[in-house]
């Protein structure tokens, strides 16, 4: 890579990270524990809000996950307008429909209820409500909203995205199929509900993929440069919890302790990467999801080990620390770092997360490289800035090697 361009990226990242310290990073207020969602309507009413838009996907109400919320809302007198149109990688028309549902029904707040898709759709809709004269394309990027959004209540039903603790919403351009993020501190929810009862019906495959998504958030936040100390502490705690409880939640979906701890780990990882950023794993995963519809957590799980290997000596000390937290033995940084990466691959295999991504087409790789590099640079303070040959090498390994140890 051109040394001048690389120097510019590092200068931007350093200045941007320093500037962030002037922006308070609040943490959402939590309602936490089994049955916590039943307390939400009364909590919302206590804020002077009487009508809310509920943003979910189509399957969420079919699974009965919103039943207790509606029962509590009826009991307490909270009006709830349902919008069940959130889809994976929400496109522009989905988000605009949610905006119309909010304005046409004179809502006063938003409940995002579900996984990452519902969270992203609700956040993007909130951004459009705050900025009615801006298109979604114009809001893409960093610090483009800069207006207060409607009161926002996040209820995650998966333990992975951490969206209840982040400043980002990922959307998809339906014309180009490119996924991009709207990132602004105003998108950070003020309130979040961590109710493990809402996650017990998750299939094991979803539990696995979303859990590895949370792990990726924590690891990328931890290995990035210029991260403040508190984000490293959050990431360390998240990694320790994930390696302790993910396999338990995968093996027994009704294990409420494991479910609650995974929700909390996802929340911690979300807080960590909301300030420290993600990295090249996400940059590549977004291209795979945009072009082929690969679920985001699955993409992250398979790509993560290859990116960590590409970082090499730049991350070995940090990975050695994470290896200690994950209960991985080894003598010296090199061995611990290597075994930590092996641990990620073996965890993938034990939970049925498969590679390689041999569906990636030759003709798509140049586009993937352009999209990934555009997303990562100059914003993500990654330990190693990928040039085109290294980005291609990692993508080729993801396509051919899979989870091989």
Which residue has tokens 């958030």? Answer: 217
Which residue has tokens 């990694």? Answer: 239
Q: Residue 373: its pLDDT value, please? A: 96
Res. 366: pLDDT tops 60: yes
Q: What is the mean pLDDT of residues 352-374?
A: 96
Average pLDDT of the residues of the chain: 95
| C-alpha neighbours within 13 Å on the C-beta side of residue 44 | 34
Distance (Å, rounded) from C-alpha 343 to C-alpha 356?
17
Q: Which CATH number fits domain 33-199: 3.90.1150.10, 3.40.50.1970, 3.30.450.20, 3.30.300.30?
A: 3.40.50.1970
Q: Which residues pair with 156 in a beta bridge?
A: 114
pLDDT tier, 2 (very low <50, low <70, confident <90, very high otherwise): confident
**What are 277-292's pLDDT values in tens digits?**
999 999 999 999 989 9
**What are 223-237's pLDDT values in tens digits?**
999 988 999 999 999
**What are 211-223's pLDDT values in tens digits?**
999 999 999 999 9
3-state secondary structure the chain: CCHHHHHHHHHHHHHHHHHHCCCCCCCCEEEECCCHHHHHHHHHHCCCCCEEEEEEECHHHHCCCCHHHHHHHHHHCCEEEEEEEECCCCEHHHHHHHHHHHHHCCCCEEEEEECHHHHHHHHHHHHHHHCCCCCHHHHCEECCCCCCCCCEEEEECCCCCCHHHCCEEEEECCCCCCEEEEECHHHCCCEEEECHHHHCCCCHHHHHHHHHHHHHHHHHHHHCCCCCHHHHHHHHHHHHHHHHHHHHHHHCCCCHHHHHHHHHHHHHHHHHHHHHCCCHHHHHHHHHHHHHCCCHHHHHHHHHHHHHHHHHHHCHHHHHHHHHHCCCCCCHHHHHHHHHHHHHHHHHHHCCCCCCCCCCCHHHHHHHHHHHHHHHCCCCCCCCCCCHHHHHHHHHHHHHCCCCC
* Integer CA distances (angstroms), 22 to 32, 145, 223, 275, in order: 29, 18, 22, 12
Q: Which residues pair with 261 in a beta bridge?
A: none
Higher pLDDT, 175 or 367: 367
* Domain boundaries, given as residue ranges, for the chain: 3-20+203-400, 33-199
Q: What is the mean pLDDT of residues 11-16?
A: 94
CATH class name, domain 3-20+203-400: mainly alpha
Which residue has tokens 């002077």? Answer: 48
**What are 28-40's pLDDT values in tens digits?**
999 999 999 999 9
Q: Look at residues 44, 42, 65, 71 and name the one whose alpha carbon lies nearest to residue 118.
A: 65
- List the end-to-end C-alpha distance of the chain, in Å, as a whole number: 30
Distance (Å, rounded) from C-alpha 266 to C-alpha 285?
18
Q: Residue 264: its pLDDT value, please? A: 98
Res. 404: pLDDT tops 60: no
Read off the tokens for 341: 């990466």
Res. 248: pLDDT tops 60: yes
- Opening angle at CA 149, ends 285 and 184, nearest 5: 40
**What are 375-387's pLDDT values in tens digits?**
999 999 999 999 9
Contacts within 8 Å (CB) and 24+ apart, 240-244? 240/325, 240/326, 241/265, 241/268, 242/211, 242/214, 242/215, 242/218, 242/269, 243/325, 243/326, 243/327, 243/343, 243/347
Prediction pTM value: 0.94
Contact 221, 276 (CB under 8 A): yes
Q: What is the mean pLDDT of residues 231-259?
A: 98
Res. 402: pLDDT tops 70: no
Q: Residue 205: its pLDDT value, please? A: 96
């Amino acid at each position: 890579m051109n040394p001048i361009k690389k120097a510019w990226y590092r200068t931007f990242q350093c200045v941007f990270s320093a500037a962030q310290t002037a922006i308070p990073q609040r943490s959402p207020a939590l309602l936490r524990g089994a049955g916590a969602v039943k307390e939400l309507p009364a909590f919302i009413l206590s804020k002077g809000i009487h009508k809310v838009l509920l943003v979910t996907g189509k399957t969420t109400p079919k699974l009965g996950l919103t039943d207790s919320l509606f029962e509590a809302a009826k009991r307490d007198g909270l009006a709830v307008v349902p919008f069940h149109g959130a889809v994976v990688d929400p496109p522009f028309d989905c988000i605009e429909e949610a905006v119309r549902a909010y304005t046409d029904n004179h809502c006063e707040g938003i409940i995002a209820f579900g996984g990452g898709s519902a969270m992203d759709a609700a956040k993007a809709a909130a951004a459009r409500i705050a900025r009615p004269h801006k298109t979604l394309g114009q809001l893409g990027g960093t610090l483009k909203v800069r207006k207060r959004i409607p009161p926002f209540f996040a209820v995650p039903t998966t333990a992975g995205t951490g969206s209840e603790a982040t400043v980002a919403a990922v959307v998809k351009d339906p014309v180009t199929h490119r996924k991009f993020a709207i990132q602004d501190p105003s998108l950070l929810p003020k309130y979040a509900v961590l109710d493990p009862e809402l996650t017990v019906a998750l299939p094991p495959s979803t539990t696995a993929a979303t859990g590895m998504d949370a792990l990726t958030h924590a690891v990328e936040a931890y290995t990035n440069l210029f991260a403040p100390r508190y984000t490293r502490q959050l990431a360390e705690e998240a990694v320790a919890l994930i390696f302790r409880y993910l396999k338990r939640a995968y093996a027994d979906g009704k294990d409420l302790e494991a479910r609650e701890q995974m929700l909390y780990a996802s929340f911690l990882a979300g807080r960590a990467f909301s300030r420290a950023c993600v990295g090249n794993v996400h940059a590549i995963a977004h291209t795979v999801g945009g072009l082929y519809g690969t679920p985001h957590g699955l993409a992250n799980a398979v790509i993560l080990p290859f990116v960590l290997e590409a970082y090499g000596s730049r991350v070995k000390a940090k990975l050695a620390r994470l290896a200690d937290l994950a209960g991985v033995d080894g003598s010296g940084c090199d061995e611990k770092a290597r075994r930590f990466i092996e641990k990620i691959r073996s965890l993938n295999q034990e939970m049925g997360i498969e590679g390689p991504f041999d569906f990636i087409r030759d003709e798509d790789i140049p586009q993937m490289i352009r999209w990934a590099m555009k997303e990562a640079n100059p914003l993500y303070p990654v330990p190693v800035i990928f040039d085109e040959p290294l980005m291609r090498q990692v993508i080729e390994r993801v396509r051919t090697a899979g989870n091989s140890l």
